[in-house]
Amino acid sequence: MSIEAMSQAEMRAALGQFASGVTVVTGLDDDGPVGFACQSFASVSLDPPLILFCADHRGRSWPRIRNAGRFTVNVLHEEQTDVCARFGGSSGRKFDGLEWSMSRWSTPSLPGVLLRIHADIHTVHVAGDHDVVIGKVLEFERVTDERPMIFFRGQFGISSSKSLQSA
């Protein structure tokens, strides 16, 4: 199918064939903690240590994190579907009733995640309806050894190769 004839739903379905991990990007501004679920996350460079994520222009959380200049990527494990749902929604009070702590980098850290990556915003590039955010890593913080949450074919939580074959 040509890209000209492809709808957004068809593009989503096509790209759903690529399995990805699931993260929650968090930050802190004068109004308090903020965050959003994010699947578009990757390593960019080892020297200097750079990572990237993509943020939708329509989101309310990303402008606040951008203004703060610093963020934490919380890498979710397969049992954290509740955390994923909380931060994947449009509710403005995602931290209400949620246990979390402040990192030494003054960013919210979520409990029980696989990994936390604390970073400063290095550069931001506009790419269609998203920003591609490059972050300079300040610290990696390994938290647990659970299996990762995976997003594949529109489903969260599938992480074993057996599950992927039957999906």
| pLDDT for the residue 91 | 74
CA 17, CA 59: separation in Å to the nearest integer? Answer: 25
Token output for 2: 């040509």
Cα dihedral 138, 141, 142, 146 sign: negative
Buried b / exposed e over 32-68, threshold 16 CB at 10 Å, is ebbbbbbbebeeeeeeebbbbbbbeeebebbebbbeb
CA 46, CA 136: separation in Å to the nearest integer? Answer: 10
Dump pLDDT digits (tens) for 29-55.
999 999 999 999 999 999 999 999 999
Dump pLDDT digits (tens) for 54-89.
999 888 999 999 999 999 999 999 999 999 999 998
Residue 108: cis peptide before it, omega within 30 degrees of 0: no
Dump pLDDT digits (tens) for 115-149.
999 999 999 999 999 999 999 999 999 999 999 99
Contact (CB, 8 A) for 55 and 64: no
Looking at the domain 21-152, which fold is it? Answer: Pnp Oxidase; Chain A (2.30.110)
- Edge-first strand order for the sheet with 20-21 is 20-21, 150-152, 155-156
